[in-house]
Amino acid sequence: MQTIILIRHGYPVSWDQQLKERGTPPHLRLDPGLAEIGLRQAQATANHLKSLGGADAVIASPFRRCLETADVIAPACATTVTADWQVGEVLLSDVLGSPFSPTSAMDPAWAKRREGAGKPSHPESDRTLNERIGKVVNELKAMKPFAQRIAIVSHEIILKELLNRMTGRAVTLDWHPCAITVATRPKLMDRTWRLSGILGDFKHLGSDDRCEPVQQIVHRYHPLDSRS
């Protein structure tokens, strides 16, 4: 049986910080690390995943919030983290603001962690997004040995696209930070995965760790601001 565990990153600091729209280093807006609550969420998720049987591999988006989440989860599973741009954030202007550069707008202190992660599809379109998610699913199907448990730590939009491709079901879930969805493919010849347990389960989080941003922060960028 192949088991894929889809996990959203923990709560990042940018959800609480009212950062200036101009003059603030781009990575503080677009590549934030985890807030204290996000680290607690990641630890609770690591403990929960270990109780479920752990994971043979942990794949994470190269963005810092995902890597920090994965860095807490991987030791609990006695494995390491592989950064992969194929499960990276959606690089669409209407998601991250325009203009956006995946190199200049990411935390330089984490550059080494992104080495070997491949290259982002930039500038990205809906078509290229669908293509890369389709490629991820095909690679999961072709992965050997078949009986593996793989955890993927990524972003809400990517996780929904993955689940849609894996199960054939459209997902409208509001994916809570560090919520888990488990999908299984019992036999090699099975073309789709089946949901196992609760979709977007966050019962493993303590009551104090279940929260979303109170206020949705929308950043608007000046088209001539090279630092955006």
- Please report, for the chain, the start and end positions of each structural domain, with discontinuous segments joined by +: 2-209
If pLDDT is split at 50, 70 and 90, which confidence band does 219 have? very low
The CA distances from residue 15 to 6, 193, 207, in Å, are: 22, 33, 19
Average pLDDT over residues 120-145: 87
**CA 46 to CA 72: how far, in whole Å?**
7
Average pLDDT over residues 116-142: 88
**Maximum Cα interatomic distance, the chain, rounded to a whole number of Å:** 53
Confidence check: pLDDT of 205 > 70: yes
Tell whether the torsion through CA atoms of 193, 69, 106 and 218 is positive or negative: positive
pLDDT at 227: 36
Residue 33 burial class via C-beta count within 10 angstroms: exposed 0-12, middle 13-18, buried 19 and up: buried
If pLDDT is split at 50, 70 and 90, which confidence band does 66 have? very high
Cβ count near 149 (within 10 Å): 20
User: How many Å from the N-terminal Cα to the C-terminal Cα in the chain?
Assistant: 45
**CA 192 to CA 222: how far, in whole Å?**
44
- To the question of pTM greater than 0.85 for the whole model, the response is yes
pLDDT tens digit sequence for 153-174 = 999 999 999 999 999 988 888 8
**CA 13 to CA 135: how far, in whole Å?**
31
CB 45 within 8 A of CB 73: yes
CB 206 within 8 A of CB 177: no
The superfamily CATH assigns to domain 2-209 is Phosphoglycerate mutase-like (3.40.50.1240)
